[in-house]
Every structure is written in C-alpha cells, then in structure tokens.
Amino acid sequence: MLPKTVSRKTQNMNLKPLLLILGNLYGDDIMNDPLLKESVDYIRKLSPHHITMMLEVGTELNALARQGTSVKKINARNFVTIIEFQQSWTQGIWNGEDPLLQLPHFDHDVVKKVRKSIKDFKLPNASIEGFCRLTKADRASMKLFDD
Amino acid sequence: MEKAIKSMPLCTFTAEGFTEGEKECTMSDAITLSFGFKYDNLEEKETPGYLHSLRYPFLKKTGWNVIIADGQTKEKVIMNEKVYAKDGNSGKFEMKQRFGQAG
C-alpha cells in the first residue's frame, strides 16, 4: 500500500500520517507505544471533524455534478464508504473485517467460535445485531469464553 | 459480555413518506419524508451514552446517518444528515421537499 518507488509525487510526501492511519486500522499494538501514541491520538482527535468535512464536500460535489458544473461524480456509494471508514477508523478494525471484532473482549478466536456457533444454531441473522438479539441462554450455550 | 450487549445500539427503524393533509401523493406535491429510530434496550427517558472503543480514547456521541438518494441511479443524493437521540431513547429526522414538477 505504501509507495514502493520515489517519484516526483511522493518524494516530498510525509509518510508518517499514512503509517499511523494504517497502523490504527490494522489494530496494531505498536500504536500504544509512547513514541507514536501522541501523534496517533492527535489524528484520532481530529478525525471526526475531517470525516464530517469529507461528507460535506461530497454533498457539495454531488449538487454541483447534478447541475453539470463538476467533473467529479459523487454518488450514494461514496457516502456509504466514508461512513463505513469512519466506523472502522473509530473502532480500529480494517474495512471488511468481521464487525463482531468491535465488541469488547472479542478477538479473532472468539469470533471464529461465534461464527461456528451461528452456523450450528442455523441463525437467520448472522450479523452483530442478530447475535445481540439472541436470548441470554442461547449466548451462554455458545461457550465463547473459558471463564 | 451481557453488560456490553445491554449497551449495544439495538434499534427499530421507521421510514414514512406522505403529503400533509392528503391521502395520495402526486408528482407536484411537497412530500414529507420521515425517518425515526428507537433504542429497544433503553427505557423511554434513557439516552445512549458515549461510544466504546479501545482505539478511540475521546468522547464521541453515537448517531445515525440518513442518506436520501435516488433509488434507481444511486447518483442523485438529496440529503445526508446525522441524527442523534436527544432527550430520550428515540430520534427523528424529517424533511419536506418538492421532488417533481407537474406536466
């Protein structure tokens, strides 16, 4: 994902923000290192405002494109992508990863167990919402945690 | 885990389109679009708190984005608005617009 060669476009690029953003999305624990934490927290703090700004600019570009005064075409899918990115960024998970990873104490092993149980229970709704709407007894029978 | 699930945003959503004071909508009418949501696991006077995230150490309110777009082309985006639950377990977004022209 990082540029492999130095070109005129990338030679003066500051790669630190890009690295911090990718590190946060991958949920890498190195982001808690005191050397990086201050910088990544700065980006985290500003991110809601930047994302709101992206949505506002998208709305403006969409309106301009409809009037025929903008070459950039922004459609509903672009807005959904920005909103999904906002969620992934806030929760520190990569786009497309299992949404159950957003729950506290849910790591890849637990999610694997849940997915297997959902298959065994033949649940119609395998989403995070479907899991939460199960009865307490059904969730307990999945035996997700050892304790 | 059960405590976490109790605080999950489990919502029921409603969407409605109508013309005020009339039974049927026509092309030239100003149409009111109404979207609502209600947190099922909160009492009527309870409001959702701040979000939980291991990787976001700041306070952030949770809300819902309403995107109104042309269903066929998905290109014409009419509205993009963020709606929050205020003073209770539900929130509502309403807009009134004339979408078509007669003739």
Determine the Cα–Cα distance for residues A109 and A44; give it in Å rounded to an integer.
Answer: 27
pLDDT recorded at residue B24: 84
Domains of chain B as residue ranges with CATH: 2-98 (2.60.40)
pLDDT at position B37 is 93
pLDDT in tens, A20-32: 999 999 888 888 8
**Between A48, A58, A75, which is nearest B60 by CB?**
A48
pLDDT digits (tens, 9 = 90+) for A77-104: 999 999 999 999 998 888 788 888 887 7
What pLDDT shows up at residue A8? 78
Please give the C-alpha separations between residue A115 and each of A121, A122, A125, B11, B64, in angstroms, as whole numbers: 10, 10, 11, 22, 27
Report A:13-32 residues touching B (Cβ under 8 A). 24, 27, 31
User: With an 8 Å Cβ cutoff, are B57 and A132 in contact?
Assistant: no
B55 min Cα distance to partner chain A (Å): 6
Our CA-based measurement puts residue A2 at a distance from the nearest CA of chain B, in whole angstroms, of: 23
* Domain range list for chain A: 9-94, 98-147
Residues A60 and A66: beta-carbon distance below 8 Å: no
pLDDT band at A133 (very low <50, low <70, confident <90, very high): confident
CA dist., res. B16 & res. B72, Å (int): 19
Ranges under pLDDT 50 in chain B: none
> From the CB of residue B12, how many other CB atoms can be counted at a distance below 10 Å?
10
Closest CA to A82 of B100, B7, B77, B93: B77
Q: What is the least distance, in Å, from the CA of A41 to any CA of chain B?
A: 8
Indicate the SS3 state at residue B44: coil
Query: Which residue does chain B place closest to A136, by CA atoms?
Result: B2
Best-predicted range by mean pLDDT (A42-51, A87-96, A119-128, B44-53):
A42-51
Higher per-residue confidence, B35 vs A122: B35
Q: Is the pTM of this model over 0.95?
A: no
Mutate to test the interface with A, among B11, B72, B77, B95 (most CBs of A within 10 A): B77
Confidence of residue A56 (pLDDT cuts 50, 70, 90): very high
Report chain B residues whose CB lies below 8 A from the CB of A145: 1
Residue A39 confidence (pLDDT): 92
Crossing angle of helices A34-67/A76-91, nearest 10°?
170
Distance from CA of B23 to the nearest CA of A (A): 30
Count, in order, helices (H) and strands (E) of chain A: 6, 0
Interhelix angle A34-67/A16-25, rounded to 10 degrees, is 90
